[in-house]
Structure 1
Amino acid sequence: MPVAAFMSSANQPIKVDIWSDIACPWCYIGKRKFEAGSGLFAGAGEGRGVEIEYHSFELSPDTPVDFEGNEAAFLASHKGIPEAQAQQMIDRVTEIAASVGLAYDYDNLKHTNTVLAHEAIHFAKAHGKQLEMTERLLSAYFLEARHVGKVDELAALGAEIGLDPVALTAALESHEFLDAVRRDQQTAVEYGIQGVPFFVIDGKYGVSGAQEAQSFARVLEQVWSVRDTADEEVSA
């Protein structure tokens, strides 16, 4: 058997790097659609699998921790549009979120700066719970009106998924993982990522936006097929 056969990537999970922001409504919608799409892909068998890693992206880094005003007011100011138009955009995204089982609570949502939330996700990653923390923070922000810009709230949310709240508090107060957040952001710049969610598949293929589940499944299947063909050529 050729040595290359031992190094085959055909049965290795497809690595998917996702740039995302906790305050991005399309990121949560995209997460649900990607999960459905990767489920369709994995369900086709033959060892198909996906390994996910999240990366930090701040849509609005100048947002204060305690923003005064509702989401429509923020969006209108941020995009330079009338508040009525901003509310229409919110209503539309709320409908789309509902179609994937997410009940966005924009009436009570607490808009905030998300850099600490990203630091908390990196802390969780260091403790093997990045995926759980990402889901917990998105749910807390969009569905439960929790304040994800404050250390004590982030520590409490981390404790809910099994993280040490004392250690998480210390990490957030010292900004232990801020450099990791900045490295993610710099990589996004190098990739030319200007909006999220953004998916980098197998380190080669970029997919932008909250695509439909079937679209994600097709992309993963195409990457799997290309990878399989390349392995056959190498081992021949």
Structure 2
Amino acid sequence: MDTPISVDIWSDIACPWCYIGKRRFERALEEFAADAANPPVTVRFHSFELAPDTPLDFDGSEIDFLTSYKGMPPEQVTQMLDHVTNLAQQVGLDYDFGSVKHTKTIKAHELVHFAHAHGKEAEMMERLMRAYFVEGRHVGRIDALVDLAEDVGLDRELALNALEQGTYSSDVSADKTQAAEYGINGVPFFVFDGAYGVSGAQEPETFSEVLREVVSRQGDNK
């Protein structure tokens, strides 16, 4: 059996480029998997907080957040959000920045680790990102998070207990430590087979090229 290719993705639920990058990577993965000669690919998501100082309930809009927390002029923020919205539409995502509820994402990251332990990591990551960018849902409060966990088929009470007890907080911390060791200071960041780093929401063709390179290297090492 061919050796699986591992892809580790550092991202933040509240990162618009991460969701776009996820979609672009998925497109590359679909094309790659269509060739039966290619090895399987395993994907693991890792935690990264872009703005760890964000309050649980930020009182203001996306424009308010970026102007007050990042010091960006409102006009520049508006142009940037329009640009990102257009790029998101190109990969089938309907961003609604007007309804985004800024919040601290630490508990959402814990929930992703909980979902991984129960075989629902990919579904949970997708649900959280859609809830945040498309539906204007709150992804910081525990009660809101267990609703989303239930949406993907996870046990509500188990999820509630894990979040209240901070069961997976050490896993989130470990992801952050690993990111620092890799020198990751922005997301999304993709690591292929522990050896090839790809930064940013690259086009599907870039991800496809890296996957082919990994297959080639695996062949050389046999």
TM-score with structure 1 setting the length: 0.92
Q: Residue 167 of structure 1 corresponds to which residue in structure 2? A: 158
Whole-angstrom CA distance in 2 between matches of 1:38 and 1:218: 11
**CA deviation map 1:42-83 (0-9, x unaligned):** 223314321100000000000001001100111122321111
Whole-angstrom CA distance in 2 between matches of 1:72 and 1:208: 25
Secondary structure of the residue that 2:96 maps to in structure 1? coil
Among candidates 24, 44, 55, match of residue 15 of structure 2: 24
Matches for 1:51-70 after TM superposition, within 5 Å: 51-70=42-61
The amino acid across from 1:41 in the alignment is F
Task: Return structure 1 stretches of 4+ with deviation > 3 angstroms.
Answer: none
1:167, distance to aligned residue in structure 2 (A): 1.1
The amino acid across from 1:65 in the alignment is L
Q: Residue 103 of structure 1 corresponds to which residue in structure 2? A: 94
Whole-angstrom CA distance in 2 between matches of 1:59 and 1:47: 34
The amino acid across from 1:202 in the alignment is D
Secondary structure of the residue that 1:107 maps to in structure 2? helix
Among candidates 183, 190, 201, match of residue 174 of structure 2: 183
The amino acid across from 2:69 in the alignment is H
Among candidates 97, 107, 121, match of residue 116 of structure 1: 107
Secondary structure of the residue that 1:155 maps to in structure 2? helix
Secondary structure of the residue that 1:110 maps to in structure 2? coil
Q: Residue 150 of structure 1 corresponds to which residue in structure 2? A: 141
Secondary structure of the residue that 1:17 maps to in structure 2? strand
1:12, distance to aligned residue in structure 2 (A): 2.1
Secondary structure of the residue that 1:199 maps to in structure 2? strand
Q: Residue 127 of structure 1 corresponds to which residue in structure 2? A: 118
CA contact (8 A) 2:24 2:201 kept: yes
Structure 2 unaligned runs (5+)? none
Whole-angstrom CA distance in 2 between matches of 1:83 and 1:190: 35
TM-score with structure 2 setting the length: 0.98
1:125, distance to aligned residue in structure 2 (A): 0.8
Structure 1 unaligned runs (5+)? 1-9, 232-236
Instruction: Report the number of matched residues.
Output: 222
1:33, distance to aligned residue in structure 2 (A): 0.1
**CA deviation map 1:129-170 (0-9, x unaligned):** 111100110011011111000111110110111111111111
Q: Residue 210 of structure 1 corresponds to which residue in structure 2? A: 201
Q: Does 1:45 align with 2:36?
A: yes
Q: Residue 7 of structure 1 corresponds to which residue in structure 2? A: none
Whole-angstrom CA distance in 1 between matches of 2:68 and 2:34: 44
Q: Residue 5 of structure 2 corresponds to which residue in structure 1? A: 14
Query: Identity of counterpart residues, as a percentage?
Result: 54
The amino acid across from 2:220 in the alignment is T
Whole-angstrom CA distance in 2 between matches of 1:78 and 1:94: 21
CA contact (8 A) 2:38 2:215 kept: no
**CA deviation map 1:101-136 (0-9, x unaligned):** 000011111111100000000111111111110011
Secondary structure of the residue that 2:221 maps to in structure 1? helix
The amino acid across from 1:174 in the alignment is Q
